A and B are shown apart, each in its own frame.
Chain A
Amino acid sequence: MKSVIQIKGVRKSFGKNEVLKGVSLDVKTGEVVVILGPSGSGKTTLLRCVNFLENADDGELTIGELSVRFRYAGKKDILTVRRRTAMVFQNYNLFSNKTAAENVMEGLVTARKVPAAEARERAERELAKVGLGGKRDAYPSQLSGGQQQRVAIARAVALNPEVILFDEPTSALDPELVGEVLAVMRAVAREGITMVVVTHEMSFAHDIANHVVFMDDGLVVEEGAPKEIFFHPKEERTKQFLDRIQLKYDYSI
């Protein structure tokens, strides 16, 4: 199968703290890649390096026919990469000066020069798909966390990107709102949109993933099919992590 996005040997340090120590990832078309790992293992930093919200110190990124070394990427390369990807943030980051519909339209109209009427139509369609057709004129401050995150997902999907990056999209939500966001993400996955998802929701990860990557301490420790990683992990660190998470699960239920 064709790769949508490939990263090779990403390194990133914050001062003396080396957070990514040479991470590689290959995401195929239509695939859902789930990244797991303990807190501080570098998952967020990895996603942020992919769309240049962090400047990686080294490594290479291939997206479509565009190949760039992170260190030498120019403004134009960065803009190209950002226009082929989309991101859903942990704390939504909806534009607070814009309504739900305007949030979805912004990247279409301003960055991609889609005519406003067409963008509005697409925005309304995407909002309806995430169950928020009636909230198109609401400002973010008038929406619940779950609703805001659904708008953020609509904003990402509307851009028709080659891949959507999700960074713990449900971890800032009240428990009763997690379900609605996960349901929307499942629907996005069913549409065949390529996704890279960082999450701590294990059963969701198990259901949705085609490929699971376990990271620890700035490295990919183990990766493979969900069944392999969840039920027959080879590496000791993966086992420990899964046991710990499982334990939390058992207690919380």
Chain B
Amino acid sequence: MGKLFDAALVLEYAPPIFLRFHVTLAIVAASVVGGTLLGLLLTAAQLHRTPGLSLAAAGYISFVRGTPVIIQMFIVYYGLPLALYRVGININRWNKLYFVLIAYALNNAAFMAEIIRSAVLSVPKGQSEAAWSVGLSGFQAFRRIVLPQAFLTALPALGTRLVNTFHDTSLAFTLGILDMLGQAQAIGVRTYHVLEGYVFAALVFVAVSLLLEKGFTRAEAAFGRGVKK
């Protein structure tokens, strides 16, 4: 078995592991795009006057925030085929990755909704009123005045969320997804060198997290120029 930890192997395992980075990225992308769209819908439902609607949205959000993502992933993986089978749709032969993408989008939606909602509520009422008073419709006022200001307020929280989403993807391998961690695990099983692969994966996670943080700090400075109170 040789050395317990062989630094040279970190380099040797790096290419095959990094070749699976696109799977990790796909999960992050689904979380961000799906989560943002669903999150906007959830926010709209939550801020809606219909009490049933806002209650349902609030219930969904606290369920998602109150349970580990790995459980949500298993619920989607085992539950969604059952539910859809009832209405005559058979998804049993779907690629596992699809379930993971759906689960992560559903998960991220709840967090996005919280971020969007508090950012929207932080924009003073007078901004909307001024927009209405110059003749903008409700949607135009939201889209052109409220949303850009809310976005600026939300940027730091969005950055943190993105980093967290990225870290959360590390659970997808438990369903047998061959992302970076899935690959590291597979190599470990094959070669009995478990640690080296994980160390490399950790380096990638650190590097990407740092890059994201830097990027968001820059974005805040760029978008916020002159605008901040």
Contact = CB atoms under 8 A, between A and B. Distances in A.
A15 B117 CA distance: 27
A112 B140 CA distance: 12
Interface stretch (A26-34, A85-93, A224-232): A85-93
Given A95-B145, A97-B148, A106 B126 contact: no
A91 B126 contact: yes
B133 interface: yes
B145 A97 contact: yes
Contacts of A82: 132-135
A86 B134 contact: yes
A199 interface: no
Contacts of A98: 145
Of the four ranges (under 10, 10 to 19, 20 to 34, 35 or more), the interface on chain A belongs to 20 to 34
B132 A53 contact: yes
Interface stretch (B4-12, B89-97, B197-205, B221-229): B221-229
B127 A106 contact: no
B186 to A, nearest CB: 49
Contacts of A52: 132
B136 interface: yes
Interface of B: 124, 126-127, 129-137, 140, 144-145, 148-149, 152, 226-229
Interface in A8-35: none
B147 to A, nearest CB: 9
Interface in A59-98: 79, 82-83, 85-87, 89, 91, 93-98
What 8 A-B pairs have minimum CB-CB distances, sorted nearest first?
A107-B134, A111-B135, A93-B130, A83-B135, A139-B226, A93-B126, A87-B133, A97-B148
Chain A CB within 10 A, most for which of B137, B140, B226, B229:
B226
10 contacts: A51-B132, A79-B135, A82-B132, A83-B135, A93-B126, A93-B129, A95-B145, A110-B136, A111-B136, A141-B227
B121 to A, nearest CB: 16
B130 to A, nearest CB: 4
Nearest to A51: B133
Contact of B131 (A85, A99, A106, A141): A106
B127 A141 contact: no
B76 to A, nearest CB: 38
A86 B131 CA distance: 10
A49 interface: no
A112 B134 CA distance: 9
Interface in A98-155: 98-99, 106-107, 110-112, 138-139, 141-142, 155
Contacts of B133: 51, 53, 82, 85-87, 89
Chain B CB within 10 A, most for which of A51, A86, A97, A138:
A97
Interface of A: 51-53, 79, 82-83, 85-87, 89, 91, 93-99, 106-107, 110-112, 138-139, 141-142, 155-156, 159
Given A97-B145, A97-B152, A141-B229, A111 B126 contact: no
A155 B227 contact: no
B56 to A, nearest CB: 26
A141 B152 contact: no
B149 A106 contact: no
A229 B41 CA distance: 55
Given A93-B126, A95-B127, A97-B149, A111 B140 contact: yes
A157 to B, nearest CB: 12
A96 B126 CA distance: 11
A84 to B, nearest CB: 9
Nearest to B143: A110
Contact of B228 (A85, A107, A141): A141
A97 B226 CA distance: 9
Contact of B140 (A93, A110, A138, A139): A110
A24 B127 CA distance: 29
Contacts of B149: 96-97
Contacts of B228: 141
A96 B229 contact: yes
B229 A106 contact: no
B135 A96 contact: no
A95 B135 contact: no
Contacts of A79: 135, 137
B161 to A, nearest CB: 22
Contacts of B127: 93, 95-96
B197 to A, nearest CB: 47
A198 B180 CA distance: 66
